[in-house]
Every structure is written in structure tokens, then in C-alpha cells.
Structure 1
Amino acid sequence: MWRLGRLLTIFRKELRLAWAVLRDPRSPKAAKLVTVLAALYVISPVDFIPDTIPILGWLDDGMIGFLLLQLAFQFLPAELLASLRERVGAKAV
């Protein structure tokens, strides 16, 4: 059970980092676009696995959203990513 709590903590920090990417004017447009796409996928009713399947539908949203955020972070220059991680207190995943 402690692993689930740790995962939620990591995911929360990644969400704060995504918010920082959207707000920072130095972030490339590609990183901002992929971050917005991740948010849209999570809230979209169109999924690979429907949310009516209780656990798998939610895992699908979370994993694809997380992977899209990781892709968005790849578009950031290393020094900007380090600066944003330091600002939000997130460690590299």
C-alpha cells in the first residue's frame, strides 16, 4: 500500500511540474502543446480503454497522461527542466 502512496506523491509532483511548464515563458511550444494534450486526454471521454471498466479505464488515463508528460519534459532544455524541478521540488523520474 505504501507504494501506491509513493506513486501518488510522484504523480502530484509531476503535475505541479507540468503546470510550471505551462506558465514558464521559456518553455518551448512543443512542450506546452504535449502538456495540454496530456490534460485533454485525461479529461476526454474518448479513451483506448473506456472508463466504464473500473480499474483498467482509470489506469489507462493515468499511464497515458504520465507518458505524455514525460514526453513533454523531453522537449525542455536540460537547464530549464532542472530549474523547474527545483522550483516545484520534484525529483527526476
Structure 2
Amino acid sequence: MLKNLKKEIAALYLASKRDDVPWYAKVVILLIVGYALSPIDLIPDFIPVLGYLDDIIILPIGIMFAIRLIPKNIMNECREQSENIFKNGRPKNWIAASIIILIWMIIVTYISINLFSIF
């Protein structure tokens, strides 16, 4: 199953580079692929149960949604091309990681401000 998930992510990445994929699909694809390849999770894995929620539920649902936005013939071509894209390891997406870090910083700052205003 994990190998199939990697293949789908690679196929989505390839689909995002094509001119015949609609722009709105490309936006969704870039968000999903960026999150999947990000070295940092929105919900850290060390948080019990919730930490793996994104890996088990959120990411596959996002992938399925992105796949539905792409014409079937294009997605099939991209799946064929994606066979060997992960041979040299998982590529990193530092832009997505930076966005996730920024989101966490905003959340922590918001919580800190609200906690200190109580006291």
C-alpha cells in the first residue's frame, strides 16, 4: 500500500507539470504533493493517535481528491512515468516545510498570547 501511495504522489507530481491539466487541479496537486514530501508534518507524529492521522487519513483523501480532478488518460500516463521517480530516495519540499513551520509558529504565538492574557 505504501509503495502504491508513493507511486500516486509521483504521478500527481508529474501531472502538475503538464499543460493539459487544469489550473485548479494543479493547485490542489501542489498542495498535496508539497505536504506529502514535506519533511515536517502539520500534526507531529509524536502526538498520540493524532500524529498519524495525516498519514493514514488526510493524505490519502487528498490524493484521491486530486486524482479525481485529472482526466483518466493523463493520470494513467503519469502513473506509467512515475515507476522510477523515487529510486534515489524521497525528494524534499522545503517550501512546504517552511509553510508548516509558519503555521505552527502562528498557532503557538496565538496560544501564548491568549494564555498570558488570562494571567
Report what 1:12 is aligned to. Answer: 6
Are the equivalent residues in 2 in contact too, given 1:17–1:84 (CA < 8 A)?
yes
- Alpha-carbon offset, residue 54 of structure 1: 4.3
CA distance in 2, matches of 1:41, 1:23: 17
- Alpha-carbon offset, residue 17 of structure 1: 0.8
Are the equivalent residues in 1 in contact too, given 2:13–2:30 (CA < 8 A)?
no
Q: List gaps (5 residues or longer) in structure 2.
A: 84-119
Aligned residue identity for 1:12: K
CA distance in 1, matches of 2:76, 2:49: 34
Aligned residue identity for 1:67: I
1:4-59 deviation line (CA, Å, top 9, x unaligned): xxx2211111121121112222211122111122245554x785xx42414531x2
Query: Of 42, 58, 62, which residue of structure 2 is paired with 1:64?
Result: 58
Query: Of 30, 37, 51, which residue of structure 2 is paired with 1:36?
Result: 30
Runs of 4+ in 1 over 6 A off after TM superposition: none
Q: State the identity as a percent.
A: 24
TM-score of the superposition, structure 2-length normalised? 0.54
Aligned residue identity for 2:53: D
TM-score of the superposition, structure 1-length normalised? 0.65
Pair 1:20–1:40, CA change in 2 (3 A) = closer
